[in-house]
Chains A and B, each alone.
Chain A
Amino acid sequence: MKKYVSESDVADMAEYARIGLSDEELPKMTADLNGIIDELQVIRQYDLTGVTPTFHPIGDLSNVSRGDEVKPGLTHDEALKNAPKTEDGGFVVPSILGGEK
């Protein structure tokens, strides 16, 4: 089978997608992706010159805005209810830049 992506490509993609892949997972994921990408080649063989793309089945979408009125919504507690870690009414995350907290 043709190789579209290498293990090193897949490792880069995993980093971009923020999915940690172990060294053991890498070969299988690479093989799976190459198998799938091979099935996608049909569209590259099409002559699509002059064909306008359709990005959405409903063509005339526009942004919807509503009046600036208070409406019922989630309470602060409800919005935080599913958070793995909270503190003082906020979400808690580890250091963003890599330094100690």
Chain B
Amino acid sequence: MKTTDENKPILQIRNVSKIYRGKGNLFRSPGKDVVALNRISLDIFKGEIFGLVGESGSGKTTAGRLVVSLEETTSGRIFMENREVTGLKGRSLKAFRRKVQMIFQDPYQSLNPQRSVYDTVSEPLKIHRMGNASERKAKVKEILKAVGLSPPDDFLFRYPHRLSGGQRQRVAIARAMVLNPEFVIADEPTSMLDASISAQIFNILLAMRKDLGVTQMFITHSLAAARYICDRIAVIYRGNLMELGPAEAVIQNPRHPYTQALIDAVPKFGHAKEAKLYGTLLAKRREAGKDKGCIFYPVCAVADDAICPRKKPGLTPLDDGRMVACFREGSDPEQTSFLPHVSNKGV
């Protein structure tokens, strides 16, 4: 890790679950509950870029929305700088939102087509009553320049339809950055963009960390993107954390069979022969009891039938600074989080 404040977690997630209750139907039996996140615990340290990697439906976006309090946790607690954010309301929620911002996935939908770039980027300043009109304008220009929309005067009064996808996403980043947040969640910020434009966005995110020290949670489905920009990554599968550790270590030497299956599936771009094949994915899924055992057991080719279908492995630290939830790697059956308890200082 590159950060100096290595031991200072800025964000602490403890045993957080999110269950979407099925509404059911008047004429049918009640709907099914969807477990989007299952008892997730993790720490994000000051100044790092933390990657949350998973496939669609794995709960990675839900995790981001819970952290910014766009949704409420079903159980568990989230702390930002030792202050509990779960259940914040009113003024304290507004103060919290000044420090934590989000960049959404689709810049074609996250910008209001009827508002100019200036309207969009200055709105957070207005909401938080910062500066007068001319100060706000100066701040907006400064931030537009920082995200590479220069000269800013060219862009101030443009509407989204006159911006390309990459420019729109930069406006979205500017909107998130204008309040000088301490923590930014970027939810798949480049999945709608071309490779050459994605690289621009990655570099802006890296510069934000370097110049302003902004801690980031980078949500992505692409291990390659995570490798490029993240210090540490967590791999999430159907709402459960499977592996967490330094990005390069997890990608070059994955220890969880699911991470290994993911790496197997990524096109190796001409390196197919050199790449090691783990072969941990079962071709045909096997039957497994519900809600018991490891979530990956039904498709895991290296599972131990004696224990994997019966108990859930807990995320357990290994010797090399990473954590894995797999009995093969010596995980304990699920227990309470091994991460330190957080005392709430209150707001």
On whether the two chains bind one another, the answer is no
Residues of B within 8 A of A (CB): none
List residues of A whose CB falls within 8 A of some B CB: none
